[in-house]
Amino acid sequence: MQNLRKRKKVVSVKKIEFIFGSALLLLILVGALGILQMHTHPIMPIEPFESAEGIPWRLLVALYVFFVVSTTGFCIIISLGEVFGFTKLEPILKECMLMALVTILVGLMTIALDLEQVMRGYFAIAGHVNTTSIMFWMIMLYVLYVIFLIVEIWFYFYDDLIKQREERGLRGLVARVLTIPKASETKDFAKVIGFVTVFTAIIANSNLGALFGVNYIPLWHDPLLPVHFVLSAIVSGAALSVIGVYITDFARGVKIEGERYEAIQMLRVILGFSIVVMIFFTAWKFVTKAYPNSTLLSREAALPFINGEFAFNFWVMEVAVGLLLPLILLAAPQIGRRAEGVFAASLLTITGIFFLRIDHVMGGLALKLITGMSFPSPVYHPFEIMATIGFFALTILLYYVVYKLMPMEVGE
């Protein structure tokens, strides 16, 4: 009787996995179709998106910025736990590392597929370089970051991988490939590499901020934009860590308690603090730009956000949903003390951060277009939306696959 019950449970879990996996694959196919259509239809023929042709950086670049800053955020959380002694974060470090790896890989894929000449993308690394170009340094630094992150993950998981060598199936195979059976004290080495990784991640992320900040575009030109980017990395990292850990434990059917609950509470504190700093950053950024003393260009840049085309994106999605509401949820003890409450606040924060990226990229360019053809309102072309869905699905699928293959401390 008990065997029958267990078998039924196993069967239903496999069925859920199958449905889940095939749903994700379907979404990824939708994304691939979107990317293909984007590259084969030069002039988007769907009304009213024809004018979207003139804007150089649209939804995919905002998505790339989102992914890449998220990975820096994960890296900062990992380094807080591993290198800087926030020991309460240790139980969730493995999930964060895998999520960091998955998001940077998908982020690089996003920007590679946004290029007009995808097949020539390797030029930026292989020979044709312009050392005054910040975009070139960004690519180099992120490649370096991927190398260091993979090394860090390898060394952090090394001891557990050795234990996994005896298993059968794909997991064992992965473990046997990645290790030689001589256990050593690798966690210290992982700590040093972790420091180097977070160093590279912060340089790379602030470089991305500088990529926007050096242009004289009124919304972007700000020597502190790199700092703003690193700050938003902390926010995204903390929020996404909470989301990732919660969904992982939900999928395993485990309630969050004990050490992992303490880790979530520590993330709640980090998230709350960084949201407060972010509120002030955002508020003063727009006050400085919109003040009558600032240049005409700055005022024109800030105006769409205050009561123009981007007003909904800014006030509702970015400020209310992204900053104020999560802060209230995190601060309220009845909600903040429950893992579900922190999860809900993190979901809202991430939505706000996503719209922050869109506003930043597309709002800055809204003034840039040739007069008479400017398209100041945010345009989301259906192909781009399809591609976005595909990339998110790809992230989840990759994380799922890597999670299954790697030795996570607690069992299935």
Partner 1 sequence: MNRRNFLKLIAGFLPAVALVRGQNAGESHKSYVMVVDVNKCIGCGKCVVACKVENDVPMDFKLSRTWIEGYAVKEKIPIEESDVKKEVLSTSKNPFLDKSWIETTRGRKTFYVPKLCNHCANAPCVNVCPVYARFYTKDGVVLLDKETCIGCKYCIVACPYGATFTHPEQKVTDKCTFCYHRIKRGLKPACVLACPTGARVFGDVNDENSEVSRLVKENRVAVLKPEWGTFPRVLYIGLDSYVVE
Partner 2 sequence: MILGLGFAVLVYLILFFYVFGLSPMVTGSSQAKWVEMELSLEPKFSDTEICKECHYQLYIGMKNHSKVSCEACHGSGVEHTIKRTSDTIVKDRTRDFCLNCHLDVGGRDAVKTVNETHHPGIYCVVCHDPHK
Residue ranges in contact with partner 2 by CB under 8 A: 127-131, 140, 144, 147-148, 151, 188-189, 192-193, 195-196
Numbers of helices and strands, H then E, in the chain: 14, 0
User: What is the DSSP annotation of 372-409?
Assistant: TS---S----HHHHHHHHHHHHHHHHHHHHHHHHS--S
Which of 10/373 has CB closer to partner 1?
Answer: 373
What's the CA gap between 300 and 93, in Å, rounded?
44
- Rule CB under 8 A: is residue 113 a binding residue for partner 1? no
In terms of CB distance, is 142 or 354 closer to partner 2?
142
135 touches partner 1 by CB under 8 A:
yes
Interacting partner of 133 out of partner 1, partner 2, none (Cβ under 5 to 8 A depending on kind): partner 1
Between 30 and 140, CB nearer to partner 2: 140
d(CA 348, CA 141): 30
- Interaction partner, residue 148 (partner 1, partner 2, none; CB < 5-8 Å by kind): partner 2
Q: Which does 8 bind (CB under 5 to 8 A by kind): partner 2, partner 1, none?
A: none
Site membership for partner 1, residue 43 (CB under 8 A) = yes
Angle at 405 between CA 142 and CA 35, to 5 degrees: 50
> Which of partner 1, partner 2, none sits in contact with 227, Cβ below 5 to 8 A by type?
none
The tokens for 85 are 């002694």
Q: What minimum distance in Å lies between the beta carbon of 4 and partner 2?
A: 53
Least separation in angstroms between CB 144 and partner 2: 6
User: Contact 46/381 with Cβ under 8 angstroms?
Assistant: yes
Q: Is 46 in the site for partner 1 (CB under 8 A)?
A: no
The 8 Å CB, 24+ separation contacts for 281-290 are 281/228, 281/231, 282/318, 282/319, 282/323, 285/222, 285/228, 289/218, 289/219
Distance of CA 287 to CAs 9, 277, 299, 318, Å?
Answer: 57, 16, 10, 16
Q: CB of residue 276 vs partner 1: minimum separation in angstroms?
A: 32
- % helix, strand, coil for the chain, step of 5: 80, 0, 20
Nearest to 138 by CA among 241, 229, 38, 218: 229
Q: Are the beta carbons of 398 and 102 closer than 8 angstroms?
A: yes
Q: Which is nearer to partner 2, 196 or 324 (CB)?
A: 196
What's the min distance (Å) between Cβ of 356 and partner 1? 18
| Minimum CB distance to partner 2 smaller for 151 or for 297 | 151
Cα–Cα dist 362/52, whole Å: 11
- Least distance in angstroms from the C-beta of 153 to partner 2: 14
Nearer to partner 1, 285 or 368 (CB): 368
Of 373, 326, 327, the closest CA to residue 351 belongs to: 326
Residue 235 to residue 229: CA distance in whole angstroms? 10
When asked if residue 115 is in the footprint of partner 1 (CB under 8 A), the reply is yes
Residue 365 lies near partner 1 (rule: CB under 8 A): yes
Near partner 1 by CB under 8 A: residue from 4, 42, 253, 411: 42
Q: What number of other Cβ atoms are within 10 A of residue 4's Cβ?
A: 8
Q: How far apart are CA 345 and CA 322, in angstroms?
A: 9
- Does 210 interact with partner 1 (rule: CB under 8 A)? no
Contact set for partner 1, span 229-258 (CB under 8 A): none
- The answer to the question of residue 45 lying near partner 1 (CB under 8 A) is no
Kindly state whether residue 267 participates in binding partner 1, applying the rule CB under 8 A.
no
Give which of partner 1, partner 2, none residue 255 binds (C-beta under 5 to 8 Å, depending on kind).
none
Residue 134 sits in the site that holds partner 1 (CB under 8 A)? yes
User: 232: which DSSP letter?
Assistant: H
Cβ neighbour number for residue 85 with a 10 Å cutoff: 9
Both structure tokens of 60? 């995919």
Rounded least distance, CB 129 to partner 2, Å: 4
State which residue, 52 or 278, has the beta carbon closest to partner 1. Answer: 52
Is residue 216 a contact point for partner 1 (CB under 8 A)?
A: yes
Q: Using the rule CB under 8 A, which residue among 93, 124, 256, 387 binds partner 1?
A: 124
Q: Interacting stretch for partner 1, rule CB under 8 A, among 179-187, 240-248, 367-375, 395-403?
A: 367-375
Residue type, 368: K
Which residues are at the interface with partner 1 (CB under 8 A)? 39, 42-43, 50, 53-54, 56-57, 115-117, 120-121, 123-124, 128-130, 132-136, 139, 211, 215-217, 365, 368-373
